[in-house]
Structure 1
Amino acid sequence: MQRRAAAHARDAPALAARWPADFVAFDILQLDGQELLNRPYKERRALLEQLFTDHALTAPWTLCPMTTNLAKARKWLQTWTDVSGVEGIVVKPLTSRYLPAYRG
């Protein structure tokens, strides 16, 4: 990905074909020009899931898996950290609003 970012515009299509990128979404902050920052994560996640459903999005678009089951989350953390490109998990309270520039 870094090579693609540093490439000249004329090289970008070839590099994109050689090193394709995927987009993994776990939250949505704006939809149809409407800011969603003050909505709870549970509502934002439902909107994101609906967006994937409405547009039948598939690779390279990926909806990040989500669970409220602690045992399942622990299993994911133990097994998915060995997968290339997976760096960890995101934990968010279902009732939390999005706080820009804040890591909670």
Structure 2
Amino acid sequence: MRKLLVLPLVAAALSGCGLLYTDIKVPRGYRTASPAEVKAAPDDPMATGKACNRSLLFLVAWGDGSYAAAVRDALGTRDGIMYDVRADMKVDAYLVGLYTRVCTVVAGRVAKP
């Protein structure tokens, strides 16, 4: 009977990002502007940005891996708007997930405002 109780407890403990502390932001959905909606030009530069969440020992999780943070990183100091954006998620897990980094990576073109 004890073995039957231990299995759900272990599964619940390992299912979260951080067992003791979790402070993360993750992307849920986004809408990107199309070239027709902005003042797009053929020579608009490409920009790439990344935003990450991290967790350590299944106990503590932190970071801002949101879409908005990745777009801010891509724009940097540029004054513009991103369009035709592609978003991907990259996961790095080390030592069976004892240290994990989950990053939102965006790439798109930057139009002048």
TM range (shorter): under 0.3
Q: TM-score, normalised by structure 1?
A: 0.23
Higher strand share: 2
Please say which structure displays the higher CA radius of gyration.
2
Q: TM-score, normalised by structure 2?
A: 0.22
